[in-house]
Structure 1
């Protein structure tokens, strides 16, 4: 664990450019003593300790943690002056050439702390403070998800490995901070979460360079508003790189460095149900629909009678020789034009037909209620 931390610190926090120390030795050296890792900074000449339990936390940003620890150390030492009178012959013993009288052997390292001048207690009354609290609400023990650090366009980000996600997502804030070139999707894709009724839309996407373990390739991401993570790597990432994950302990194994095509029995097509509207083709579609509906969208006077069915029948007269007395009706002059129009339309459509019969009585011409 100390070697891994030393390598990460030297890669992410090297000597400033032009410093001569980078030629002689690396800036950081780490030593593990039981459950504590000691960090020695050759550039700032400070020593910082961190527990192994804290290093096992996947959410720990060790660069930010180290910067805060160094800032605290220098803040505590601020105001402490040093003068020549404080020396008691250390310079003479340091620069004098005296032969070694004792053989080199095992050494015991002793680390000490110095209390701040702003502390409320005296130097001889150092105390250890311990805060404890008991939760009185319902609680449960859950395992932490698999969160790894990957490089997006050369910058480290926190990525969640999610086997339940059907796509790879990137935070909109991260895309803005890294200045990733995004593009608008031709059709917005709906995004459904596991909770019924919760949904969103994906309007933008991007392509970025991804580096993780042996992977170094371009990858497509959908842009959404993520809350706790910078990137979510879903089933496309697992499928294309043959990723194997496990818990207790957490492990991630990459099976393929180069992305493989998504094909096979386990692959399916995700289609959008969005409808497209082309303004230059609306008029042609309207004419096509009007021509298709013309035979069935007619006026009542222009449509013929429907075909006879089994329910249609005739009612014969009981006495065909009997003559019924009737008086011819007369159409009012105000309705004569409407009568002629309706008569001609019904004769043309076949609803009525001209015939000679003795027992045929003309209709009584009346207007419908509310029409005058």
Structure 2
């Protein structure tokens, strides 16, 4: 679509041709506002949306290339949904018996090949441990332990300033339950060691609420 590979759904139950707003934004495709919004009726009773924008883009499917109009909607999972009008225009056949899509003399196997959906799901389940390990190795800075140090200064550093620093707020002194005292002490030691908290004397402080998880 517009020179970018797109994850496409051929939907014989859809009466429109739609493109994801995320794909439009990511590829900066030129769009225009519709003079009259189009009501998008969904399958569930009472479920509907409104199409406010559209665009015209070049689409390449196999060896077929054309210019097509798309409604811009919040498509989930797919980048493009090609409905019945597009399927009829290019004489596209969804061949469930041979597990492929036919367009003229061309034939495209589905992404699972000859696998049944159940077998495909089992293969995906077997891939999860390997994927999890690869993600953990690739993002150790996120999944690892919290470094006991202050984060680096950013381009914009925010400060919370009191409106009246001399104002005394009177409240009942909070008490930490005995069951949570050890967790509170561990938290205080960790934050003081990292430099996030500093020990000092003050007339008042904001009470902290500790809840078990």
TM-score w.r.t. the length of structure 2 is 0.48
Higher radius of gyration, 1 or 2: 1
As a proportion of its length, which structure holds more strand? 2
Higher RCO (C-alpha 8 Å, min separation 6): 2
